[in-house]
Chain A
Amino acid sequence: MSARSLLAFLAVCAVIGLLGFGLLSKGSAKIEVGDRVPDRALPVLGGGGEGEIADYRGDWVLVNLWASWCPPCRDEAPTLERWWRAHRDEGVAVLGINVQDNSQDALAFVDEFHTTYPQLRSVGDERSEAFGSTGVPENFLVDPKGRLALILRGAVDERILNESVDPIVEGS
């Protein structure tokens, strides 16, 4: 191989490598049931320190990724609040993580729907990518050891909670 061919080959490899790195570094994670839940400390929505999923270790946690501008999130918020109130004394928590939103709108949403379960805030898309999220809302049931027990893409309603989540939580 001549020096010129080698140089051209290296240049093509460099371009392909650069494109590949760019694609991989922006790609979403893939998570599955049984995986350890992606977790990191996030600011509490509205201020007041930080929180993370690990704070609820020992309890079942339904992690809800949501945004105020998303109509299905508006539909499911009252359902989640009712479900949490019904189960919170049974070692079950609902943890909202606000994503892809601005904090002012997110707080207005919490006020509007009178949600009282804990809320964290992720700036931008970082948590959505960590959860391999394809949109909002999405819900992830985390077992007491911090592993994913159920992944629910899309909004939940009473039926989904009763038929899919309750049997897992109550059967433990």
Chain B
Amino acid sequence: MARLACLILAAVAAFPTAASAKVNISDVEDEVMCPICGTLLELSDSPQARREKAFIAEMIAAGKSKAEIEDALVDEYGPAVLAQPAGSGFELSAYLVPAIALLVAAVALAVGVARWRRHGDGDGDGTPAAGDAPGDEDSARLDADIARYDL
């Protein structure tokens, strides 16, 4: 039994966890900015971007996790280095505005569809609404067309 427990412990210890998984530089580069260029680091090749990439590579070589690397980047370059806006202050609007816009669009669509169905259904029993009935002039033209094509 003790031997089995030892084997299980050894297997668990050998299994790579998320925290200990080796970070790839491209995992970080697509989530941080080159602050001077105003573009994602992976798209930048300015002198500052090259130094930032070297800094990340050193952190990876030192065995730091992705979160630790991002924290270090914020310490060195400020919060603007993160590609995703912070969830506070004015940058919160980056999340709120699309959500509010989506909500407003959904409500407008629902109201529009309801109104359209109300008008389209007439009185709701499948028969055309009174306002949709053709007038005398239209009826006469329809009769003339039917007669012309001998339908």
Contact = CB atoms under 8 A, between A and B. Distances in A.
Interface of A: 11, 18, 21-22, 25, 67-71, 100-105, 123-126
Contact of A104 (B55, B79, B93): B55
Main secondary structure of the interface of B (DSSP, over half): helix
A82 B90 CA distance: 45
A124 B79 contact: yes
Nearest to B36: A100
Interface stretch (B24-32, B70-78, B136-144): B70-78
Q: Indicate the size class of the contact surface on chain B.
A: 10 to 19
Nearest to B79: A124
A102 B55 contact: yes
Contacts of B50: 69
B131 interface: no
A111 to B, nearest CB: 16
Contacts, number: 47
Contact of B78 (A21, A71, A103, A123): A123
A124 B90 contact: no
Instruction: Pick from A25, A103, A125 the residue with the most CB of B within 10 Å.
Output: A125
A163 B104 CA distance: 63
B95 to A, nearest CB: 13
A71 B77 contact: no
Given A18-B97, A100-B35, A125-B35, A68 B77 contact: no
Closest 6 interchain pairs by CB?
A: A124-B78, A102-B76, A69-B47, A69-B51, A123-B78, A69-B48
Contacts of B69: none
Contacts of A123: 75-78
Given A123-B78, A124-B80, 18 more contacts: A22-B93, A25-B90, A67-B48, A71-B47, A101-B48, A101-B51, A101-B76, A102-B52, A102-B55, A104-B55, A105-B55, A124-B77, A124-B79, A124-B81, A125-B35, A125-B78, A125-B80, A126-B78
